[in-house]
Amino acid sequence: MTIPLAVFAASELDAHDTPPWHPEHKGRLDASLAGVHEAGLDDAVSWRIPEMASVDDLALVHDRVYIEQIEQFCAEGGGQIDADTSATPGSWVTARRSAGAVLGAIEALRADECDVAFAAGRPPGHHAVPDRAMGFCLFNNAAVGAAKLAEAGERVAIVDWDVHHGNGTQDIFYDDPRVLYVSTHESPLYPGTGHLREIGDGAGYGSNVNLPFPAGTAGDTYRAAFDDVIVPLIERFAPTWLIISAGYDAHRADPLAGIGLTSADYADMARRLQALVPQRRLLVVLEGGYDLEALTYSTGATLSALVGGAYRPEPASTGEVGRATVTAARQLWEL
């Protein structure tokens, strides 16, 4: 029997410890998963313990030497990788399980076991480039899933609404015509990439889309971006699968950024994306989000929208900031 929602998560097996001051901590995963209950989805969900991604799976998007370095670094006790990113002995297994959650979600959808799947793991992934960890991320979870699908002959769209640009995902697929990468993010902000005219290279020219918004941008502008730019470009690409890189740090309460979205805005964006691929071909992958209440509300609103629910603990946000970005993107893409 097909269930509405499968959630791949294992907070009880999370052994990726971060320093006490770090915004990316174990409580984030618990807060996100609490959104399932808050949205009233208990009777609609099947909870799954994700398997660990294999080294071969990780090597679809990461250099094998880098993968070996992370394994050895963790085995030797870990430590700080850069100013933002750290690892501990348990990070190797936990990061592989985070990537494995995405692969498990894909398999459940492919087997018609669920209508929508949520891969909820940490650390997040979209900043991890082929040969380096950065921005809290060790392995690029969404990219592993997209690469696995592309290897099987699928056309994959990734929509990344995290407030920080997913430089790792962009780098991995920048010259790959099988994957369309779309990012909405605040600019200027870490990591300083994601400019409007970064649109791909070589065979992948035209398959990379960035909408860099100024601080203060709200949901009305995001909805306009989806309606006028993102949805038409995804329809033009005609994907067979869609992955949402669902960071929730563009919420107005988030301490690390200045975009003004609410949980209802995420619900609106999710519904727009769901219609763009065949049934049971959409999965949600947790990225950032550092205000715990906002993370709970936003996860719940997203998943509720995707299974036909009406959970909206906050009203949608409105404003005119950022409209110039939408106009510029329409002109660039001739829409």
Question: Catalytic positions, please?
Answer: 127
309 vs 140: CA distance, rounded Å:
30
Is there a contact between 45 and 309 (Cβ–Cβ < 8 Å)? no
**CA separation, residue 315 to residues 137, 145, 258 (Å):** 32, 33, 18
Is there a contact between 259 and 213 (Cβ–Cβ < 8 Å)? yes
Report CA dihedral (146, 150, 156, 159) to the nearest 10 degrees.
20
Give phi and psi for 211, each to the nearest 5: -125, 90
- 333, two tokens: 């893409």
Rounded to an integer, what is the distance from CA 189 to the centroid of its chain? 17
